[in-house]
Structure 1
Amino acid sequence: MVGFSQEARGLFIATWLAGVGLAGCGPASEPAREDEAPSPGQRALTEGAPLTTHDASCLQLQDQNTWSTYASYMTGVGPALGLSAVLQDLNRVGPVLSGLGHPPAVGYKGGFRWNDGDMSTPDWVPQALTAGVSGSSNVAFVSWHYAPTTAPEKGVRVSVADISDMSLSAVNYRHLLLVRPTSAGNFTVIPEHGGGLAWYGNYLYLADTSDGLRVFDLTQLRAVDTSATCETQIGKISTATGTVWCAYGYKYVLPQVSAYVVPSTITSPCRPKFSWLGKDTRGTTDVVLSGEYCNSSSATCPYDGSTPGLGGRLYRWPVDATTNRLQAVSGIVKPERAYLFNQPNVQGVAPIMTTTSTTSYWLSSTIYNGSLFKVSTSASATSYRALLGEWARLPEGMHATTSGTNLWTVTEGTGTDPATGGRVVFFADQASLD
């Protein structure tokens, strides 16, 4: 992220407060949509205030257009298996939460924890969640970022969990390693935080914090070697007995096929961060939601203005219903709409599916030990806080089912007790929260 100098930042803030603003980088001046509250104009931000319509005309994403190239690079690795094959080969068991062993969340309905090793490992930390249907199975994807700062970098892994029947005693799941093809028959890790996921069709979108969105093709899933040789290696490896493909011991790799990146000419404050993602199917066009994590100290945002931590922005990126790729004109994608969301420490987003309006959302935040915010353009935020026993500790990514019934989330977790902050995946009743 390109930052301001002190002098430039001061000039920007003074200009912003004076109500003049920066072209294409402030609250919108055009008339509000019929279902939106009017923009309050350029002013200091207030925590919990309604969503503010934001002018994102300065922003665009460019398709790197490696769809066929990256797919061709993977042909030498082995046959493309697809998600259905992996769902028949889930190797881990996550006990379903029961009794008092679950987060004290308003509207809690059910969930599961990871196996003992995944609950306690310091090496991998859960981040994002998205969900959908594959064949007859309801499936959740959860991303984990690799926490150690020493080599080797293992990047991002994704858990595939079958959540079709939450009345069973356990949920079966498996970890996959995300990879990027580098040449014919070779690949490497994805050195990202893994803070956001969104699933449309065969494509899994991943937030690339500094640059935009990476796209992975579920039809291109491939099995690789799991011998001791591969525990510490990645990609194509020559051995005494021949060539093997390694993924640090993981059996399956999910390859990147393309990416949508912010051109280098777009700089702060127009250039956003891509901290988290979501999906919204309420409007006439489906969208990938993206947004920024900001707090008042260590993770400020390009548009913090005079109220550090509250300048996070939410963007709506339109999806082509036929291809499930972003809608592009000559390779360029523009956001359908954008908002300032006036909440700190946001880690995830989901649409409020009990309404057809596309101007209301759930926001997941780690402020107050953990919070769920209901936000819209027409009302101040409603909050559910872990400190008050209303929500889970350290919540991350979210997904809202299209039926409008369930709101799913994953927690980052501390400790191993699901009731007091351990890592869990759970769902709550949206009607109870709404």
Structure 2
Amino acid sequence: MRNRGRHRRQRRGRAVRAVLTGAALALTAAATVISASQATVVSGPGGLRPLTSAADLGRLRLQERAEPSGTLDRLASAMGRPVGVDTVLRSADRTLRSGADCSATEREALPVEPAATRAYCWDTRTSADAAWTPRSVTTSGDADDDGLWGAHRVILAGWTESGRGLARVAFVNADDPAHLTYTWALLAVPTDGGRDYRGLVSTVSGMVWYQDKLLVTTADGTGDALYVYDMDRIQRTTVTTSAVGRVDGGWSAAGYRYVLPAVTSYRLTGGGSALRPRNIALDRSTAPDSLVASGDRGDRLWRYPFSKDPARGGLLATDSAGRVTAGEAYETKVAGVRGVLAQGSDWYLSRAAGQDSRHGSIWRQDRKGAKATRCGADESRHCWSGGTDSLSYWAETGEVWSLSGRMLFALPLASVDKSVR
């Protein structure tokens, strides 16, 4: 069943980078003129302030809660043998449009500086459906350090529905940068001991695919901060209806062919003072690898170490009681943090657009200070995309992937570093 990329190492780094360089797009968003009225006049936020007190770290503690194996096995027995990512990718029935084929309105969501080198928008049926909004992104570059899952390059995009609040994931086959295809799977939570499941009802603002696990932020009102999905436990549905769960004649997932039942969750333990992760990303520059997070209050950053136990692949490190403690935490004065990345001592923080601009900003901050990307004759900080909730670093190619509006885009992290001043 396991189809991990580390079992099929294919060192194609140089060839892949050549393809990606050749595929860079000349996007009209790069020519957007920022007016002087959009210039940021506030002073810089300064450096990160470490948080070390027991009270501060206690607000970040999580409790792991695994679904019983009997629950998952009962569901799999009833629905049929689970499938893996490769099977889902072979079912891809929609195609992403390249940046040049996206509308001017769609391209307005792209960054001004640095400009996207690759950009895509969803097919017209997906883009026209206002009920669903893309919120988060992760890739096979997170899943495995060679950038592949088995033989495939894969992008996952998390979407949230405005009506019922359901969450779905687009599985994107990115083997050919000039022709990206995708299909959907619904995120779910087992109920009744595995005899049924419900849809995950939450805004999925953060998502990280690490080894064979997909970690997703949640604010579904249950007290859970993260849900975990096993990429080798994807279930097929048998009935195509708008219902979710067991129905007459079989299993349904709001019309989608695949459903992922959660295998583990992490619950907040700090009571009313607990900080819920809003955005998350993978940091491979630490030992062990770590999950970095920004909080729902926008002024806290922290990281959780991943477990080094081979039997706990893709799960966070816990103590003997199943508790997860932050390895480090900081206070930031970059207001309204949305997306977060960390590489070594550098943290990259994106902010949404304000009332005076269509564009947001992106900052690089460490304990010594902070700098933002600048653009235009007036050196405005409003250079980034306006609606970014998620950032994902693909180490093998050096790219940062993100979502804004109806656009999926990538650019080199080096270009961010070059633009901050």
TM-score tier by shorter-chain length is: 0.7 to 0.9
* Distance in structure 1 (CA, Å) of the matches to 2:172 and 2:128: 19
Residues in 2 aligned to 1:384 and 1:257: alpha-carbon distance in whole angstroms: 43
Q: Give me the whole-angstrom Cα distance separating, in 2, the residues matched to 1:97 and 1:389.
A: 21
Q: Counterpart amino acid of 2:293?
A: S
1:158 aligns with 2:169: yes
Q: Normalization by structure 1: what TM-score?
A: 0.74
2:414 is equivalent to residue 403 of structure 1: no
In the alignment, which residue of structure 2 is the partner of 1:219?
232
How many angstroms apart in 2 are the aligned matches of 1:121 and 1:370?
24
- Any conservation in 2 of the 1:161–1:172 contact (CA below 8 Å)? yes
How far apart, CA to CA, are the structure 2 residues paired with 1:164 and 1:66? Answer: 34
In the alignment, the residues of structure 2 paired with residue 384 and residue 173 of structure 1 have an alpha-carbon distance, to the nearest angstrom, of 34
1:172 alignment counterpart: 181
Q: Deviations over 1:354-394 (max 9, x none)?
A: xxx2x212212213432222222222232357976732231
2:324 pairs, out of 333, 354, 358, with 333
- Structure with the largest fraction of helix: 2
1:108 aligned partner, one-letter code: A
Q: 1:157 Cα shift?
A: 0.6
Indicate conservation of the 8 Å contact 1:105/1:428, yes or no. Answer: no
CA distance in 1, matches of 2:247, 2:67: 24
1:433 Cα deviation from its structure 2 partner? 1.6
Q: Using the alignment, how far apart are the partners of 2:331 and 2:253 within structure 1?
A: 40
2:94 counterpart residue number: 92
Q: 1:319 aligns with which of 298, 301, 306?
A: 306
Whole-angstrom distance in 1 between the partners of 2:407 and 2:239:
28
In structure 2, runs of 5+ residues without a counterpart are 1-41, 141-147
Tell me the SS of whatever aligns to 2:288. Answer: coil
CA distance in 2, matches of 1:74, 1:83: 19
The 5-angstrom pairing of residues 11-410 of structure 1 reads 48-55=45-52, 56-58=56-58, 59-66=60-67, 68-75=69-76, 76-98=78-100, 102=107, 103=110, 104-132=112-140, 133-148=148-163, 153=164, 155-166=166-177, 168=178, 170-183=179-192, 184-209=194-219, 211-227=224-240, 230=241, 232-238=242-248, 243-263=249-269, 266-269=270-273, 271-293=274-296, 301=297, 312-321=299-308, 322=310, 323-330=313-320, 331-352=322-343, 357=344, 359-368=345-354, 369-384=359-374, 390-403=383-396, 405-410=398-403
Distance, in Å, in 2 between the alignment partners of 1:64 and 1:46 is 43
Q: Which amino acid aligns with 1:254?
A: L
Aligned partners of 2:71 and 2:371: how far apart in 1?
43
Separation (CA, whole Å) in 2 of partners of 1:384 and 1:196: 26
Look up the equivalent residue of 1:74 and give its one-letter code: L
Mapped to 1, the partners of 2:43 and 2:326 lie a distance apart of 24
Q: CA deviation at 1:97?
A: 1.4
1:85 alignment partner, SS class: helix
Distance 1:385 1:316, change over 3 A: farther
Q: TM-score, normalised by structure 2?
A: 0.76
Deviation at 1:46, TM superposition (A): 7.7
For residues 101 and 82 of structure 2, what CA distance do their matches in structure 1 show?
42
The alignment partner of 2:72 has SS state of: helix
The number of equivalent residue pairs is: 343
Contact 1:373 1:382 in 2 (8 A): yes
Shift of 1:140: 1.1
Separation (CA, whole Å) in 1 of partners of 2:167 and 2:288: 29
Structure 2 CA distance for aligned equivalents of residues 384 and 127 of structure 1: 25
Q: One-letter code of the match for 1:425?
A: L
Deviation at 1:226, TM superposition (A): 4.3
**Tell me, what secondary structure is at the counterpart of 2:408?**
strand
Between 363-372 and 329-338, the greater mean CA deviation after superposition? 363-372
CA distance in 1, matches of 2:128, 2:87: 28
Identity of aligned residues (%): 21
Task: Report what 1:424 is aligned to.
Answer: 407
RMSD: 2.3
- Aligned partners of 2:268 and 2:276 also within 8 Å: no
Amino acid at match of 1:78: G
Aligned amino acid, residue 267 of structure 1: G
Unaligned runs of 5+ in 1: 1-44, 294-300, 302-310, 414-422
Q: Which runs of 4+ in 1 moved over 4 A?
A: 99-102, 384-389
Which amino acid is 1:165 matched to?
A: D
Q: Is the 8 A contact 1:351 1:400 kept in 2?
A: no
Separation of aligned partners in 1, 2:267 and 2:121: 35
- Residue 196 of structure 1 aligns to which amino acid in structure 2? G
Instruction: Give the Å deviation of 1:351.
Output: 2.5
Q: For the structure 1 residues 67 and 347, does the alpha-carbon distance in structure 2 shift closer, same or farther, using more than 3 Å as the test? A: farther
